[in-house]
Amino acid sequence: MCYSEGPTLAINRFVFLQEGNHEGHDFNMFRSQAGGACDCGNSAVMKESGFCHRHGSQAQLNKPEVPPDLLAIADALMPRIFLRFIQHCREHSSESLKQVQEAMEESSLFLDLLQELSRLGAAMRKTMTKSLCNPKVRC
């Protein structure tokens, strides 16, 4: 593949169909219920010459910052959501396999919520990542 740094490359449907000419390329397309993945913009996987205009080096220039007050509630709640999920998992970690499986089924609402929040965009994913990586947040 002319833009790949390795034998495989994953790009989303928009990037593939709208942003590039793939005439003569050998490709396999599949659908993912979880939303898929896109390597466009990842220089460890893809040559920068193949980045689309949405993921290239100029993509982040002149993009407005998200107003801090717009994410204030998410900044406050996100650590609590993650902590509650971790507590739920720990509370049921020493039980039988069946009880652990039931606990994981019960926690599917947490996971659904986190997935929906991540779909809100990069600003929310950044907020989620800061919460997960913050050493001041303790269980």
Q: Which residues pair with 15 in a beta bridge?
A: none
pLDDT at position 3 is 61
Three-state DSSP class for 46? strand
State pTM to two decimals: 0.56
CA distance 58 to 136: 34
C-beta neighbour count of 111 within 10 angstroms: 11
pLDDT at position 124 is 92
CA distance 120 to 64: 16
CA distance 136 to 65: 25
Element at 3 (helix H, strand E): none
Domain ranges of the chain: 1-63, 68-133
CA distance 76 to 51: 35
Mean pLDDT, 10 residues at a time, over the chain (139 residues)? Answer: 64 71 71 69 78 70 80 92 88 81 86 91 91 83
* Euclidean distance between the first and the last CA atom of the chain, given in angstroms as a whole number: 46
pLDDT at position 1 is 44
pLDDT at position 131 is 92
What secondary structure does DSSP assign to 56-111, as a single string? STTTTTTPPPPPGGGSHHHHHHHHHHHHHHHHHHHHTTTS-HHHHHHHHHHTHHHH
Position 98, amino acid: K
